[in-house]
Amino acid sequence: MGKKMFILIVILMSISLIGIIAVQVYWINNALASKQEQFKNDVQKSLGSVSQRIADKEEASLEKDIENIIRDKGVADNAQIKNYLFQQIDTTTKQKFTFGATILEENFKLPTDFLDNDTIIWKRISGKKDFFSSSYIKGVDNYFTDTDESRFSVSQRMAAVEKSQFKEVFKDFLSIKPIHQRISNRELKKTIADELKKRDIDLDFKYGVYTNDGLATKLKSGYYTINTENGYAYPFIYGTDGELDYKLYVTFPTKNEHILAGISGILLLSLLFIFIIIIAFSSSLYQLIRQKKISEIKTDFINNMTHEFKTPIATINLALDSIRNPKILGDDEKVLRYIQMIRDENKRMHAQVENVLRISRLEKNQIEISKETVDVHDIIDDAISHVNLLIKDRKGNINTHFEAITSEISGNEFHLTNVVVNMLENALKYSLGSPKIDVYTESTNKFFLFKIKDEGIGMSKVVQKQVFDKFYREQKGNIHDVKGHGLGLAYVKEIVDKHHGTVFVESEKGKGSIFTVKLPLI
């Protein structure tokens, strides 16, 4: 896959993912907004019912009080004149309310010439306040006539006038009383709770009644303050002049949880789908990048393998051509030397192939690693002897610093020896000039540690994260100045993992590297 095509696919997949997530978020926001609007409407309806119930109850109480007063004092007689004296004392505010009035009912019969057999009666009631009313009367069903067939007696008409007069006065009296004396906190709270439950809102709430000017009253729950963002307001009580006197405010501390609970099903389902989409996208992107990386690694491996095989094959061909020469064919010493050269190069190629096959078998668990008690100090000494000639050939040296008190572990001697050899060869490969390698050992209560330190070219942080990956080699373009296939350290990690140990590297570019292996003690 070309680089441009890979980038295009990643961009298209990213746009699709963002679009799908955006649509899901849009629908979630819509559902949330709809639920909030529904909640607001339910609360407003509940508060409207609360206001109406309080007003109706106050009206009924007022009617009852007036009827009791009229019943106790009696009604006006046929003379249609009555003196009233009514007094009420408010024990809370120490206020005394007195109503006194002389009510006079006067009827005026006015003839009309535009209606047949009809009469207009004007009624005037004089007292503390003047009220004027007129009635349109027709036929025998007249209201408020002075004939024997009238449906209401004078006493009944007088009672209606008195009731109306008292009602106006009582309303004036109520309007000057503090709101908390007209309704209790307990009654208001219960009424609000009842109306909310009718609309399936069973939440804790806080309330407060404020004047139209924004002043707080004693009618509230605790230390309530107006919350214009999360609260709900509704007109509560109107005055006798029709102007709004009070407003009722209600807030719900757990409103958001209640709203979210209402759409929790669709919300969780949407989040689940978004999570699945993100996981699928991430997995696909990871696989694309991984496959691209594997493709590059395989291409690099083939190039390296070709380069590694090219030299021994050329050497073998050269040796064979030399042996076929009649002059050399008669020289047994030269023939044996060329045969030894062919054997060494063949052995070298075999080792290269064996390294590849060994890693493959390890990954497939086709190699059984038998374990026994081994001394790691002995294994390190044996591994050093394997690479000693290479070290001397480059005029380098290996120094050992064995400080471990206990060096016996349960492991496979053959594979552990290869681990140390590979690590020493790696230090040798990446050292410039005469290599200087130090081997340190130490032990703890549970682990044996050995470190191989070199003063080579070192590696960057990026390379350190991938140095144990199979086939990985630091990219240097098409330059093959260091031999290998990137399998040595991958083999080291596989064997150490099989021994339940860990291996890691510390390095700095241009200052060398330290490879550390930690293995469990017996």
Please tell me the distance from the alpha carbon of residue 246 to that of residue 213, in angstroms, as a whole number.
Answer: 9
Residue 452 token pair: 């191989």
Q: Of 125, 145, 175, which residue is a domain's last? A: 175
Find, among 67, 70, 63, the residue nearest to 174 by Cα.
Answer: 63
Residue 362 domain flag: no
Could you list the beta-strand ranges (E) of 301-388.
372-375
Domain count, the chain: 2
Q: Which two tokens stand for residue 289?
A: 């990048």
Q: How far apart are alpha carbons 156 and 73 in whole angstroms?
A: 14
The Cα 365–Cα 175 span in angstroms is 93
Let me know if residue 263 belongs to a domain: no
C-alpha 472/C-alpha 463 separation (Å) is 9
Q: Which of 142, 175, 208 marks a domain boundary? A: 175
User: Which residue numbers in the chain have pLDDT < 50?
Assistant: 75-82, 84-85, 108-115, 118, 120, 122-158, 161, 477-482
Expressed in percent and rounded to 5, the helix, strand and coil fractions of the chain are 50, 25, 25
Look up the pTM and report it: 0.44
Query: In whole angstroms, what is the distance from residue 507 CA to residue 516 CA?
Result: 11
213 in a structural domain: no
Asked whether residue 332 is assigned to any structural domain, the reply reads no
Backbone angles phi and psi of 212, in degrees to 5: -65, -20
Burial class (CB in 10 A: 0-12, 13-18, 19+), 172: middle
Task: Check which CATH number belongs to the domain holding 498 and give it.
Answer: 3.30.565.10
pLDDT for residue 433 = 83
> Which residues have a Cβ under 8 Å from the Cβ of 319 and sit 6 or more positions away?
338, 339, 341, 342, 345
pLDDT recorded at residue 120: 46
Domain that holds residue 130: 74-175
Q: Does 387 map to a domain?
A: yes
Which among 279, 341, 290, 289 has a CA at the least distance from the CA of 316? 341
At 118, phi and psi to the nearest 5?
-115, 155
Cβ neighbors of 293 (< 8 A, separation 6 or more) are none
Rounded CA separation 397/442 (Å): 21
Q: Where do the DSSP E strands lie in 419-508?
A: 436-443, 447-454, 502-508
**Last residue of one domain, picked from the residues 138, 160, 175:** 175
The answer to whether residue 499 sits within a structural domain is: yes
The first and second tokens of residue 298, run together, are 């395989």
How many residues are there in the chain?
Answer: 522
Taking CA atoms, 182 is separated from 48, 97, 206, in Å, by: 18, 16, 20
Cross-strand pairs, 234: 248
The answer to whether position 420 is within a domain reads yes
Q: What is the reported pLDDT for 387?
A: 83
How many other CB atoms sit within 10 Å of the CB of residue 475? 10
Please report whether residue 432 resides in a domain.
yes
SS (H, E, C) 137-196: ECHHHCCCCCCCCCCCCHHHHHHHHHHHHHHHHHHHHHHCCCHHHHCCHHHHHHHHHHHH
Return the axis-axis angle of helices 488-498 and 332-363, rounded to nearest 10°: 50
